[in-house]
Structure 1
Amino acid sequence: MAAYLENTLIGLCDEAIERKKTISTFLTSKIGGEPDKIPAVCFRYPSCTVCKSALTHVVQVYCPLDASPYHRTINVFACTNTDCQGKSDGWKVLRSQCLDSDVKLSTGAAGAQQAPHVQPAAPMASTDWCADADDWGVEEEDCCSSTWTTSQTPTVQPSSMAVTESAAADVGSQFQSLSISTTEEDCQPAGPTFQEYYISVVEEGDFTADSGMEHAQDLLREYEEREGASVMELGDSGGGGGGGEEKYEKTEARHGDAVFSGFMKKVSLCPEQILRYCRNGSPLLISKPPLDLEKSVPKCSHCGSGRTFEFQLMPALVSLLCSNNASETELAVEFGTVMVYTCQSSCWKSGLSSPVEECAVVQQDPDQKFFK
């Protein structure tokens, strides 16, 4: 997988998901709403470790790994209580996987039940997350959405995802007859949900220093005026090809180090980015971590493997996390960046039915006003 993802993928907010027109599935990457049903996987809405309140669904990321037979979806949840924001314990990350055969079994269990009257659409190939990735927000208009139910604990086996196009097409066709019954045991959100949007993707390499230079310089000038830190000019100082190391004058900002300056320089090429994906890569830190970040990430509690960085949520996402219904209680989640670490082997074994809990590391925004 690392060979495919040497270049970071950037997630951008796409169009809103209108439930009357389109229905998302676990093959959809999206902001907000409810997590979509994954065949053979059941669980209850997670609770906040700090205040015990039910968490709110923040993002769903469909991220199959190259050369693995599994579909793979990661759901991220957060506590909307003010006292819990900015704390890693107020977040939960759940990874779920399934085989094509699980989809077929779910379809068989549905029996003769009728599927929703929606027009079929071309399914998204699982390799779309790898080298050929160009869109996380494919509209699967033929697919049936539903909430997650309860059950037991997870699984174990190595990773990487590449299902053939014919297999993916077969999965898409199975959804037309897939129906999930709704019972008292079904997992329903305990409170309001965030508005739903598709997530689309571009490669970070598509953004050059020149393409965003004017806006980037404006942002950096504002930062220098506000924080008293001088950042050297963007772009290569001359010379061919490689390097690209970011150098900063030693003047420190009020934040205490130049990490935030580097974060702003990187983000300024695409300020609208809401997610950065680079499995086995390195996160973009918004502030200096108090400890060795990699060593502080716990090993997978299910197989004992180490965890690797997979993706992170970015500040631009904060303003998009609004209540799905204007009449409901207003929701808000504040953060600088949320880094998601997942099992290096992506442990999973077919036949077990609960998602694997992964690790979220939260860094607060040292200057939240800068992004508004």
Structure 2
Amino acid sequence: MESPIFIGVVDSEEINSSHWTDNKIGGSPVFSSKAVFREQFNCSSCSQSTAFVFQISCPVDNTTNDRVLYFFACVNQKCSKKEYSVFRVLTEHMQQKQSKAKANENLFEDAWGISNDDKNGNDKNGNLNDDFDRCLSLNENEKPEEKNTFFKSYYISVFEEPHKEWKINQNEKKNLENLAKACLEEQNVQGEGYEKQYTNAFREDAINYHFYKRLRRCPEQIIRYDWAGQPLLSSADAEPKAEPCPECGAARVFELQLMPALISILCRAKLPHITSPIDLDFETILVYSCVNNCNSKAGVTTHKEQSIVFKERFKDDKVVETSN
């Protein structure tokens, strides 16, 4: 039996400060006390501050390490590379985990491995969670990374991918069309020409057609998660090649990918003080991470993983870029 594929969609807006294990897009990144890597926030090409896009909690083994992925994007229009960066952050638990094997079996039972504790720091019995309280006390003096805050913050809701296409009503269809139109206007793309070019692309590339047909199972999905699984490729030309982990030499495996709807969401969620257009250009971004979830260097908790960017192909070939 194949393991389920999990997809993430935008949920409610973040009102109060998040815990560092919350899944969310936009706002400011929230770190545990040991996850400090602010010097890595700038684009390696243009040196400008990158925009914080999302963070997700996703433990994948039986160790006592918590594991969070953070994704940043360069939105500088003048940047030639527009780097997309993903960081894997490991944080040692303050207390030993109980029933490790059982926890691993139920890994994705609740939002990519988040425990059943609620967002107020209470466990399932209503008692204050010690880990949560201790983490807050360690972080209460940290200032938000405002320079990386480009978007309003929303929580991410996670569920298994539906087996059939969603039947959307007219109001939902109109909302999706408005999101797409807003993003096209943001990028100065003419809607009619855009649609014609996609029609031609579908004729030439059956994989691209399958990609968008599969998205119809949940058009609102922004993240697709399948640890050590197979990505949903967007083109017959797509041949992702994962490079070995530079720290331990182990293979990297596919973990998740960013989906086209994310661009529309971020265009609409841009904060008022961000006056320049948000320049995001991808059809999908694949993220590969160390299969060993290594933490090879003493005192190092932050590890840059590999992101492979596939851009939309109209008349030109798809452009593939990789960042490690």
Same structural fold, with TM-score higher than 0.5 when normalized by the shorter chain: yes
After superposition, residues 192-211 of structure 1 pair within 5 angstroms as: 192-204=149-161, 207-209=162-164, 211=166
Shift of 1:43: 1.1
Instruction: Report what 2:320 is aligned to.
Output: none
Q: Which amino acid aligns with 1:11?
A: G
After superposition, residues 1-372 of structure 1 pair within 5 angstroms as: 6-18=3-15, 22-44=16-38, 45-84=40-79, 90-101=83-94, 130-134=107-111, 140-142=119-121, 169-175=129-135, 177-182=137-142, 188-190=145-147, 192-204=149-161, 207-209=162-164, 211-212=166-167, 226=196, 253=201, 256-289=204-237, 292-293=239-240, 296-322=241-267, 325-332=271-278, 333-348=280-295, 352-366=299-313
Once the two structures are superposed, what CA deviation does each residue of 1:32-89 show, in whole Å capped at 9, x if it has no partner?
112112232211142223222121111101101142221100000000023548x5x6
Please tell me the root mean square deviation across aligned C-alpha atoms, in Å.
3.9
**Alignment CA distance shift 1:210-1:73 (3 Å):** closer
Contact 1:336 1:363 in 2 (8 A): yes
**Alignment CA distance shift 1:126-1:175 (3 Å):** farther
2:55 partner SS:
strand
Moved more, 298-307 or 133-142: 133-142
**Alignment CA distance shift 1:83-1:330 (3 Å):** closer
Distance 2:56 2:76 in 1: 24
Distance 1:57 1:139 in 2: 24
Moved more, 132-141 or 279-288: 132-141
Contact 1:32 1:194 in 2 (8 A): yes
Distance 1:128 1:17 in 2: 30
Q: Which amino acid aligns with 1:23?
A: S
2:210 partner SS:
helix
- Gapped regions of structure 1 (runs ≥ 5): 104-124, 144-164, 230-251, 368-372
Shift of 1:177: 3.5
Identity across matched positions, percent: 29
- Gapped regions of structure 2 (runs ≥ 5): 97-101, 171-175, 177-191, 315-324
Q: Which has the larger radius of gyration?
A: 1
Q: Which amino acid aligns with 1:298?
A: E
Distance 2:272 2:247 in 1: 40
**Alignment CA distance shift 1:55-1:83 (3 Å):** same
**Alignment CA distance shift 1:130-1:335 (3 Å):** same
Moved more, 343-352 or 68-77: 343-352
Distance 1:261 1:64 in 2: 33
**Alignment CA distance shift 1:80-1:227 (3 Å):** closer
**Alignment CA distance shift 1:304-1:187 (3 Å):** farther
Once the two structures are superposed, what CA deviation does each residue of 1:210-261 show, in whole Å capped at 9, x if it has no partner?
643999xxx9xx9xx94697xxxxxxxxxxxxxxxxxxxxxx8467321110
Shift of 1:338: 1.1
Distance 1:46 1:228 in 2: 34
**Alignment CA distance shift 1:179-1:102 (3 Å):** farther
Number of aligned residue pairs: 282
Contact 2:26 2:53 in 1 (8 A): yes
